[in-house]
Amino acid sequence: MHLEWYARTEIGRIRASNQDAIGCYPDLGLFAVADGMGGHESGEVASRMAVESLRGFFSESAAVEGARLPEAVGFANREIFDAGRPAGRTTTRPMGTTVVALLLSAEARRIAWVHVGDSRLYRHRDDHLELLTADHTRFGARFADGAEIPLDLPHTNELHSALGIEANVSPSGGSADWKDDDLYLLCSDGISGLISPLQLRTELAAPTTLEEIGTRLIQRALEAGGSDNASVILVRTAR
């Protein structure tokens, strides 16, 4: 399997800091986006810990398997939870993050994904755009049973789940076969919350490089006001 990929994160026009983090580890077939919460310093720490913990988990694992993604996310959650509650302190600093991760297997021609919060994974295949993750919000909960997730799923600030908030977390995810020329978009809500599904489909269908597509997505988010940090990872599969 040959992978093309491109990643970029931008602070936007409003925020004082960038609490998003991106992780691209093509040697592992692993890609992740995290969107931190809890004040700029804590949010930056939490999101960075999330992607680095995922990389560390699979770097030290004997087998990089999609079935272990929930376990890897649980490991990351515990690290962030413990970091926000240092031993010997009676007060804590709120620290949390969303995360969405994609793992690709060349041998099995399979992908697996996992997410907590409202960072999203889209797939563009045969000129058709699909949203593969249902946000952990009141609206997203309606599609937790595996029903097709609408592209216009509303964004809200009322997350039901995030890494680092509780000692244990219940991530959502799935797996599927991959086809040649599938294009996957992992993004924070600074992209999906500001760019319409029609605009996303138009950009992902463009016959150009991933760098150009990623640049255009960031530009569209900025043109829409740039009210949040904006992060994209684009991954294309091919033989």
Give CATH for domain 2-238.
Answer: 3.60.40.10
In the chain (239 residues long), the average pLDDT of successive 10-residue segments reads: 91 94 96 86 92 94 82 96 70 81 88 97 96 94 84 90 93 94 97 96 97 98 96 91
pLDDT at 51: 98
What is the spatial distance between Cα 164 and Cα 239, in angstroms, rounded to a whole number? 38
pLDDT at 227: 93
pLDDT at 93: 63
Per residue in 199-218, pLDDT (tens digit) is: 999 999 999 999 999 999 99
pLDDT at 129: 97
Q: What is the pTM assigned to this prediction?
A: 0.94
Q: Where are the domains of the chain?
A: 2-238
Secondary structure E strands in 126-197: 128-131, 172-177, 183-187
The token pair at 236 is 């294309």
Partners of 34 in the beta sheet? 21, 99
